[in-house]
A and B are shown apart, each in its own frame.
Chain A
């Protein structure tokens, strides 16, 4: 139901819930009450002229509040700045937030930033997080905490508790992306002088993103006082963007071009390309030079980026395939249920995480460390059970093994679907596996990075087990010559069971890792079984090194093809390549030498 407000004269702003005129704001008034550092850029006449066509919010849910954080920020800011005069206008402006449509609210946000009131920062942060509510009867802006109904309400400006309030009597102030952008810029303006370097950095980045010419003055002031070189650099870049978009002096303009060209990333490229159209003839060559420099740098980066993407895809393939390299490669069992072992590993991670979340929430960041042994044990034991229950009766009959394990995979999938439901299960990324870091201009995501490390560790550990332990020795003996090994007193059935258990356990470990990048659903394993067989066959059956080289080769090849051929065609080309390769070298990259013995 659209809310229609009456028209009112310019400069007179209404308050929600009545036609009483409470604010007599004009530009002069704003300048009088703003802080001694910030310049008011917004004339009150720019404020929402009417609250007409905005769609009023429907429903909405209570949010988990970050009150602790807000209070802390609030206290620091209050202690460091003294701006008593702005109290009046912040309250009035805040009461306008529920009014109008999103672009009206964005203007209100800009006006709030112009007050320079330190209490505006937590208010705006709560707004961006969607935590602000308006009490319908009084027009008071509150934040809510707790669960259920009624909720604890806190005045969003003063931070005073105002007791319990029924959900139905408040309406949430809605935000959308454009409003969040306005808030980001506003918080940037307000915190550019913050004593905390990290806050200033965030503020400077927000200024860079906004690139609004009105911020030049503010940035000049901040640059004059800035001590931290990293923050200073971003502030200079932010100022340069603002200059490029304004009608600046030619000298300033040329300097700004240099600053941006020195930044040298994709964003800089975009900014320069945009600047090219509005530039004077005498600076055009400089800009063109800058664009060319960035482009050649980016071309080099692209190669590095593709290599990294290829390695990280290869690591995922390696993890998925390495268990199969044992069961298929070493034992010769065509194990179609391998993917389901991966899936069970992922579900084990889900269960472990759920248990930790419920019982030891502090340990959540370590949940994967607990999930690893659990997944290894669970899938390893299931693997032993499968070997003892089904596969041992089928050695030497590859077709029957294939059918039996395929049937098993369907049974396992459907059981999981029955127990856990068909929909995806949420496995959280621990904090240290979220986000990315910058490596010479290549954005490397932490989860992929750790998976590469983890894949290499698993590979090395497996190699150790095979080469340095008694079990490994027996495994190799049995696969090379079962009869001879048996004659030497090795219990070949036991070795078979252990080998299959080891392969399945490693698939379970892969499941833990894959739960961090893929869906945890009953279909998880299906997506990897074909790729796993591809890697093992390509790398050479029975050779772990072959699996490593095979996985990385296929990963890198895929990622170099993808930008040119597209994801669909790249996969097809890869399959064609493998088929041709197998024609030439039927035993794969690293064919096992000597007398391979069929069981």
Chain B
């Protein structure tokens, strides 16, 4: 028994040494940490595929620093404690150099301590509620000021909306986003009785009461819109009920932050034409970069019907930024990459460039699209310039004074500009 244990210990130690040695000349390992089973598989499986595609394309170009890239795919099965375990496994057993992964905020929050402890790199590709900036995490999706605020501005200015329904699924992203939006709307002079906030459980499927409440709320004579942070799966029955109860987009438009091309794939969109979504990328955007990306994607996945969506573009941006930063630093070592990546510019798919900011968020254009009857979005409005991602919302009093800057001399995720002190990494995670 003792012999076995010693052998095992030796093997583990040897393995660690070997992996350290191998890191110098073997392939560079890239971790892909997404749910391929369970509730979130519906959204995350595609992201795993797009990562494999990006890695394959990079290898065709000769790899990185003269070495080939090797994907390490681990299924976290929509189980967040498991995600933390698997993130650790990626570093300690597989010896990855960077990880691309997670979809939900709870997944990100679960794996954060692991990345901090092991000094890893996580590229997180989904729009989220903000109020966070970590040294080891790069947020390539939108923060609220890159999605929610411009969408509300569009409805207020172009559609003349005066009454607001904030409908969301009951968890951290919708709650924080709605808190920011509520503060923003009140700031703009919207009265409290003109804001209705509604939360539903995950996977809610009976929307009769809520849709009829929205109808009632919207029949007061003031132009009404719904801002939806309803999560993926619950959207199909929600939109069906809207269509069936005859809520037309011309009368009460719904602008969604979690509905993209992928979610519309399971839906007949004819009754939904005109409802809106705010993203930083749409598949319908007509640029040469996007056409090439879609073509590569279709060739890789072997299906012309598959759509592309915003988080896929975020992975495209994140991956290219990591590649550029590694080339700039000449090393895959985490500290070197973290120093090198700030300021890195890569093209996005909508015809602009994405810049990694000192707060580890990126610049993005904001697009408002209307749903078309073919399941695609038609861009009806976009920001003139790229919008820099803001980690701490300026519309919440407690976070308005905070700034994130991971470059010297500040080097802090939640720097209080009034007291000029750093709140510490732990406070930032809350």
Contacts and interface: CB of A to CB of B under 8 A. Distances in A.
A422 interface: yes
B422 to A, nearest CB: 37
Contacts, number: 165
Contacts of B237: 517-519
A174 B378 contact: yes
Nearest to B234: A519
B219 interface: yes
B396 interface: no
B268 A428 contact: yes
Interface in A484-530: 517-523, 526-527
Contacts of B376: 61
B208 interface: yes
A320 to B, nearest CB: 11
A130 B42 CA distance: 31
Interface in A158-174: 174
Given A130-B378, A184-B250, A417-B37, A519 B233 contact: yes
A20 interface: no
Contact of A521 (B221, B233, B274, B373): B233
Interface residues of A, number: 66
A428 B376 CA distance: 18
A527 B158 CA distance: 39
A429 interface: yes
Interface string A295-309: 000000000011001
B265 A423 contact: yes
Query: Most B CB atoms within 10 A — which of A177, A436, A447, A518?
Result: A177
A423 B221 contact: no
Given A520-B266, A571-B201, A177 B244 contact: no
A130 B269 CA distance: 14
Given A58-B286, A435-B244, A562-B209, A102 B380 contact: yes
A305 B210 CA distance: 12
Given A177-B370, A443-B245, A563 B213 contact: yes
Interface string A546-576: 0000000000000100110011100100000
B178 to A, nearest CB: 13
Contacts of B268: 426, 428-429
Contacts of A559: 208-209
Contacts of A517: 205, 237, 240
A429 B237 CA distance: 12
Contacts of B198: 566-567
Interface in A201-222: 209
A445 B220 contact: no
Nearest to A305: B212
A61 B266 contact: no
A177 B245 contact: no
B334 to A, nearest CB: 32
B41 A60 contact: no
Interface in B102-133: none
B72 to A, nearest CB: 20
Interface in A11-61: 55, 57-61
Given A176-B370, A177-B370, A424-B265, A266 B215 contact: yes
A435 B246 contact: yes
A58 B290 CA distance: 12
Contact of A417 (B41, B204, B266): B41
Interface in B373-397: 373-374, 376, 378-382
B194 interface: no
Nearest to A429: B268
A447 B286 contact: no
B427 interface: no
Contact of A316 (B206, B249, B285, B382): B206
Interface stretch (A119-127, A270-278, A321-329): A270-278
A436 B274 contact: no
B235 to A, nearest CB: 8
A426 B215 contact: no
Given A178-B160, A423-B45, 14 more contacts: A55-B380, A58-B286, A59-B285, A274-B221, A309-B206, A425-B266, A443-B212, A447-B240, A519-B233, A520-B266, A522-B42, A523-B39, A526-B203, A567-B204
Interface of A: 55, 57-61, 63-64, 102, 130, 174, 176-178, 180-181, 184, 209, 266-267, 269-271, 273-274, 305-306, 309, 312-313, 316, 413-414, 417, 421-426, 428-429, 434-436, 443, 445-448, 517-523, 526-527, 559, 562-563, 566-568, 571
23 contacts: A55-B380, A58-B379, A177-B159, A177-B370, A266-B219, A269-B220, A274-B220, A309-B208, A413-B37, A422-B42, A423-B262, A424-B233, A426-B265, A428-B268, A443-B212, A447-B240, A518-B237, A521-B233, A521-B266, A522-B41, A562-B210, A566-B198, A571-B201
Interface of B: 36-37, 39, 41-42, 45-46, 158-160, 170, 198-201, 203-206, 208-210, 212-213, 215-216, 219-221, 233, 236-237, 240-241, 243-246, 249-251, 253, 262-263, 265-268, 271, 273-274, 284-286, 370, 372-374, 376, 378-382
